[in-house]
């Protein structure tokens, strides 16, 4: 069993305490992390994710639901999350050519920033309450993590960085705090476990009937809207996309039908209600 004591470095805690707080608002923009001088930046593979790992173990259950209320009530653990975000700021995005380290960094960063954004708004019922289309603060565009002296929105992390890495399974690892999202893993992503973690979370995603259904008789296959929204990341055309997801489908008949492209595809309605332990058992209105 992991120690429940958070191993936040003294330097990081001092940085946060001395005014480089992880949360500060500027107009409609909200910045998390801190500014770090160029000479103090380190390669992404040197960033430690142990604090995030311990927080996830404490507040996230096996279904990926988060105890937001308890987390928000813990000033110490909210500060620990802020300190972790401040530690991420010391990464130099240009200094690591180790792709797994980059994937790990940005998945963990995306998920941690999303949780911090929800904690800032909680109590709330959905992240979509904080994504207006026209005016006002939009969590996907206006919640900014400072990394290596540059600010990155959740939108940029997903579309400009992670999607360009050519790893479609990132869509089953980054979590938008909603019921139809992939489950939030209750452990941090790590370089030495990355392949297993991506495979396992993708398997779990498609095993959930809220994300995947197949009727062998009618050959009707219902997929998560994630596959539709990001179809280009899974391949050029339906046949290629089905080949990409086939290894992760929950049974042999679905696997074989996908490989043969012998299915009629439709997409499941997306449930944007919050992945909150407090409401996990409720039915969507």
Residue 158: DSSP 8-state? I
Q: Tell me, yes or no, whether 15 and 120 share the same domain.
A: yes
Q: What pLDDT sits at residue 20?
A: 39
Q: Tell me, yes or no, whether 74 and 36 share the same domain.
A: yes
Q: What pLDDT sits at residue 284?
A: 62
Q: Retrieve residue 28's tokens.
A: 């409609």
Domain-embedded: residue 29: yes
What's the average model confidence in pLDDT over 95-109? Answer: 90
What's the average model confidence in pLDDT over 71-81? Answer: 98
Q: Retrieve residue 155's tokens.
A: 């939108």
Q: How many structural domains is the chain composed of? A: 2
Q: Tell me, yes or no, whether 112 and 79 share the same domain.
A: yes
CA 278/CA 64 separation, integer angstroms: 12
Q: Tell me, yes or no, whether 201 and 248 share the same domain.
A: no
Q: Residue 249's domain spans which residues?
A: 212-267
Q: Tell me, yes or no, whether 140 and 241 share the same domain.
A: no
- Specify whether the CB–CB gap between 197 and 185 falls below 8 A: yes
| Owner of token pair 């904080």 | 130
CA 45/CA 102 separation, integer angstroms: 7
Each residue's pLDDT tens digit, 196-243: 999 999 999 999 999 999 999 999 999 999 999 999 999 999 999 999
**Per-residue confidence band for 268, with pLDDT thresholds at 50, 70 and 90:** very high
Q: Tell me, yes or no, whether 224 and 154 share the same domain.
A: no
Q: What pLDDT sits at residue 283?
A: 67
- 10 Å CB burial of residue 181 (0-12, 13-18, 19+) is buried
CA 35/CA 15 separation, integer angstroms: 10
Each residue's pLDDT tens digit, 34-55: 999 999 999 999 999 999 999 9
Closest by Cα among 163, 35, 18, 155 to 88:
35
Q: Tell me, yes or no, whether 238 and 198 share the same domain.
A: no
65: Cβ contacts below 8 Å, ≥ 6 apart: 184, 275, 276, 277, 280
Strand-pairing partners, residue 221, are 214, 265
């Amino acid at each position: 069993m992991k120690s429940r004591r958070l191993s936040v470095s003294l330097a990081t805690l001092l940085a946060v305490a001395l005014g480089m707080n992880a949360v500060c608002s500027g107009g409609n923009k909200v910045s998390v992390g801190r500014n770090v001088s160029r000479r103090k930046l380190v390669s992404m593979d040197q960033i430690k994710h142990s604090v995030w790992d311990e927080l996830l173990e404490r507040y996230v259950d096996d279904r990926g639901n988060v105890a937001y209320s308890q987390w928000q009530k813990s000033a110490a653990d909210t500060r620990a999350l802020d300190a972790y975000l401040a530690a991420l700021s010391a990464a130099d995005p240009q200094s690591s050519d180790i792709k797994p380290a980059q994937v790990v960094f940005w998945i963990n960063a995306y998920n941690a920033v999303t949780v911090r954004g929800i904690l800032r708004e909680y109590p709330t019922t959905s992240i979509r309450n904080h994504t207006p289309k026209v005016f006002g603060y939009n969590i996907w565009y206006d919640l900014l993590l400072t990394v290596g002296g540059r600010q990155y929105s959740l939108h940029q992390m997903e579309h400009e960085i992670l999607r360009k890495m050519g790893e479609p399974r990132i869509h089953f690892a980054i979590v938008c705090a909603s019921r139809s999202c992939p489950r939030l893993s209750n452990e941090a992503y790590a370089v030495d476990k990355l392949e297993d973690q991506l495979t396992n979370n993708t398997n779990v995603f498609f095993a959930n009937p809220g994300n995947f259904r197949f009727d062998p008789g009618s050959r009707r296959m219902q997929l998560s809207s994630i596959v539709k929204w990001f179809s280009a990341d899974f391949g050029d055309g339906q046949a290629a996309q089905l080949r990409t997801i086939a290894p992760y489908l929950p049974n042999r008949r679905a696997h074989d039908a996908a490989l043969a492209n012998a299915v009629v595809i439709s997409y499941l309605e997306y449930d944007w209600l919050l992945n909150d332990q407090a409401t996990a058992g409720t039915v969507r209105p």
